[in-house]
């Protein structure tokens, strides 16, 4: 049995991000799902794809389904809504040893 490597992700579900490359460059949205096995993320209302499905039974009709396709995690960066700027982050520890993320450009706790 082959072991699947999980990649370390710099973003989490619910983070506000900005797309930094590709056809949706510059757009701001939220992360719906993180896929660490493939190092990809699913972003809300971006990279929409259409899937046509056939009817399974005689009385059913076919459907057209819109869904968000994954984007590689290297194409997104954390975004500060307050200062309207994207930034990298550093990890810090509080006095009670809780880990938190700190945006480098703004100093905002994320």
* pLDDT per position as a tens digit, 22-63: 999 999 999 999 999 999 999 999 999 999 999 988 888 999
Q: Are 51 and 25 within 8 A, CB to CB?
A: no
Q: Are 46 and 17 within 8 A, CB to CB?
A: no
The three-class DSSP label of residue 105 is coil
Average pLDDT over residues 83-105: 93
The pLDDT, as a whole number, for residue 4 is 78
pTM of the model: 0.82
Query: What b/e sequence results for 54-65 when a residue is b if at least 16 CB atoms lie within 10 Å of its CB, and e otherwise?
Result: eeeeeeeeeeee
Q: Which of 5-9, 12-16, 23-27, 70-74 has the lowest mean pLDDT?
A: 5-9
The pLDDT, as a whole number, for residue 56 is 87
The pLDDT, as a whole number, for residue 43 is 97
Percent of the chain with pLDDT over 70: 100
Average pLDDT over residues 98-109: 92
Q: Which domains does the chain have, with CATH numbers?
A: 16-54+62-84 (2.30.30.30)
- Which residue matches tokens 């810090």? 92
Percent of the chain with pLDDT over 90: 82
47: left (phi over 0), alpha (psi -120 to 50) or beta: left
Long-range contacts of 90-97 (CB under 8 A, 24+ apart): none
């Amino acid at each position: 049995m082959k072991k699947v490597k999980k990649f370390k992700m710099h973003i989490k579900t619910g983070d506000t991000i900005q797309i930094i490359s590709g056809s949706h460059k510059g757009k701001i949205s939220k992360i719906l799902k993180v896929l660490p096995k493939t190092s990809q993320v699913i972003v809300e209302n971006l990279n929409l794809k259409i899937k046509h499905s056939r009817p399974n039974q005689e009385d059913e009709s076919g459907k057209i389904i819109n869904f968000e396709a994954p984007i590689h995690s290297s194409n997104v960066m954390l975004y500060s809504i307050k200062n309207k700027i994207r930034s990298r982050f550093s990890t810090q520890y509080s006095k009670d040893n809780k880990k938190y993320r700190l945006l480098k450009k703004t100093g905002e706790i994320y």
